[in-house]
Each structure stands twice: as structure tokens, then as C-alpha cells.
């Protein structure tokens, strides 16, 4: 099977199973892959070809981006092997690729204690700023979600979040009574 055919098969699969942002991310990978490896047969693509492709594609990018592109390629080849029952091995399983595109070590984040958060909130002079910080700290909302709230989104303690980061149409958050009781 040719690379272009495999990409089309994978895109058809993604239409039913992946979110739009995921499809866009894979789209970037596939456009570049078609441009570089175009008409090659899937079975003829070697780990060295993919290594060179990934180095070109991720040059000057963060390690997390390089790791994402590697993971996407690996997922694509796993899908093609499973779907077509091909006897080929995944070229992304090469030790050179997996070591080069290792997941970066996550830095341990420092968690701020509740007392410090309370102190920051209560030192706010403006009621608006205090409410923004309380909605973030007490309801788990992101700043964009808080700033996007309208009066019509508030129903008692329930807040309706329009266009949340999850990709859903809307989500709900609930205010503690101490926050909801303030007018």
C-alpha cells in the first residue's frame, strides 16, 4: 500500500474517532510526510527515513513537539499494521528513534498551599479581582473561562462554561456557597 493511500485510510478513521484539534495536528504531520515521502510504499519506509523526516520536521522546535510527532508517526504505523494485517514491523520501534524522541522529564511543580492562596485572594482590593481569583481557586476554572462568563451563565451556584478547553459545547462548574453568597 502506498503512503498516500494509508494516510487517506487513517484520515477516514479519524473523522469518526478523533477531535478536530487532533485531526489538525495530524494534518500538519501528513502534509509534510506526503511532501517528503510522497509515493513510497509503506513497507519500504525505513526507520532511517523516519528519523531524517522527524529531524527535519522538528528542527528548532521544543522536545515535547518532537515527541508528539514521533508518537503520532508511531500511532499511524500501528494503525496501518493492524488495519491492513501487514506483516511489516513498525519502523518507529527502532531504538534510535525511541531514544532520540524520549519523553522529556517533567519538572516537579510546586504546589501552593491553601493558606497562601487564601492570603492572595483576601489581599485583593477590588471585588472583581477577588472574584476572578476565587472562581479559579475554588471552582477550578481557567482564566479564559472566568473572563468568558456572562450573567446569563450563572444559575444559583451553577456556572455554565461555554466553549471549554475540553472541546465540548459547554460544561458546568459549581461555586461554593461562600462564593455564591457574595453579591
Write out pLDDT tens, residues 84-107.
Answer: 877 888 888 888 888 888 876 778
C-beta separation of 163 from 170 below 8 A: yes
Residue 179 CB coordination number (10 Å): 16
Digit-coded pLDDT (tens) for 115-170: 999 999 999 999 899 999 999 998 888 999 999 999 999 998 999 998 887 778 88
C-beta separation of 90 from 81 below 8 A: yes
Domains and CATH numbers, the chain: 3-100 (1.10.150.130), 114-180 (1.10.443.10)
Q: What is the pTM of this model?
A: 0.60
Residue 123 CB coordination number (10 Å): 10
Amino acid at each position: 500500500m502506498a503512503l498516500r493511500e494509508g494516510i487517506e485510510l487513517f484520515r477516514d478513521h479519524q473523522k469518526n474517532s478523533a477531535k478536530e484539534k487532533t485531526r489538525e495536528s495530524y494534518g500538519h504531520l501528513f502534509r509534510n510526510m506526503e511532501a517528503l515521502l510522497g509515493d513510497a510504499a509503506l513497507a519500504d519506509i525505513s526507520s532511517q527515513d523516519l528519523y531524517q523526516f522527524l529531524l527535519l520536521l522538528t528542527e528548532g522546535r521544543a522536545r515535547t513537539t518532537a515527541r508528539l510527532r514521533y508518537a503520532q508517526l508511531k500511532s499511524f504505523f500501528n494503525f496501518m499494521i493492524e488495519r491492513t494485517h501487514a506483516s511489516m514491523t513498525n519502523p518507529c520501534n527502532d531504538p534510535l528513534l525511541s531514544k532520540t524522541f524520549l519523553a522529556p522529564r517533567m519538572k516537579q511543580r510546586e504546589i501552593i498551599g491553601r493558606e497562601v492562596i487564601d492570603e492572595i485572594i483576601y489581599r485583593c482590593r477590588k471585588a472583581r479581582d477577588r472574584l476572578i481569583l476565587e472562581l479559579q481557586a475554588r471552582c477550578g476554572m481557567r482564566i479564559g473561562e472566568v473572563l468568558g462568563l456572562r450573567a446569563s451563565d450563572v444559575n444559583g451556584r451553577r456556572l455554565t462554561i461555554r466553549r471549554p478547553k475540553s472541546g465540548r459545547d459547554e460544561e458546568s462548574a459549581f461555586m461554593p456557597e461562600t462564593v455564591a453568597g457574595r453579591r
